[in-house]
Amino acid sequence: MHRLVLAFINSMRALKHLAMHEKAVQQELALFFISIPVAAFIAPSGLAFLLLTGSVLFLILIEVLNTGIEAACDAVSLDFHREIQIAKDCGSLAVLISVILVAAVWLYTLWSVFFA
């Protein structure tokens, strides 16, 4: 149980840091908090609500991992290295894919609710 408490404390420290210093995470957290009441209003079912809000949480998850990759790369070297550029670009691609997923889930749900 002690390990779980320590892991939770570490996680909250990371969340606090990201929420205070990372613009992308700030925007995505705002999007998440806005998505909760909007999803509750438009979701035709509990599962749809989970998909709508879960897709935004997934985006935040990928952004957190991308930020971790960038921090690790910067800790290794601030000089240009092709391998570090590839690692950072892959993290950015993961964020882009998750943004596309969020857009697809939300657009599909909105279309289904208002036009189907």
DSSP letter assigned to residue 44: S
Residue with tokens 């210093």: 21
Helix ranges (DSSP H) in the chain? 2-21, 23-42, 46-76, 82-115
Q: Is 14 annotated as a binding residue?
A: no
Q: Is 85 annotated as a binding residue?
A: no
Is 83 one of the catalytic residues? no
Q: Is 110 annotated as a binding residue?
A: yes
Annotated active-site residue in 18, 49, 60, 63: 63
Up-side HSE of residue 104: CA atoms within 13 Å toward CB? 7
Q: Is 24 annotated as a binding residue?
A: yes
Angle, CA of 37, 111 and 63, to the nearest 5°: 55
Q: Which residues are annotated as a binding site for ATP?
A: 3, 22, 70, 88-89
Binding-site residue set for a divalent metal cation:
22, 70
What residues are labeled active site? 63
Residues at the binding site for substrate are 3, 24-28, 63, 92, 106-111
Q: Which residues belong to the annotated binding site? A: 3, 22, 24-28, 63, 70, 88-89, 92, 106-111
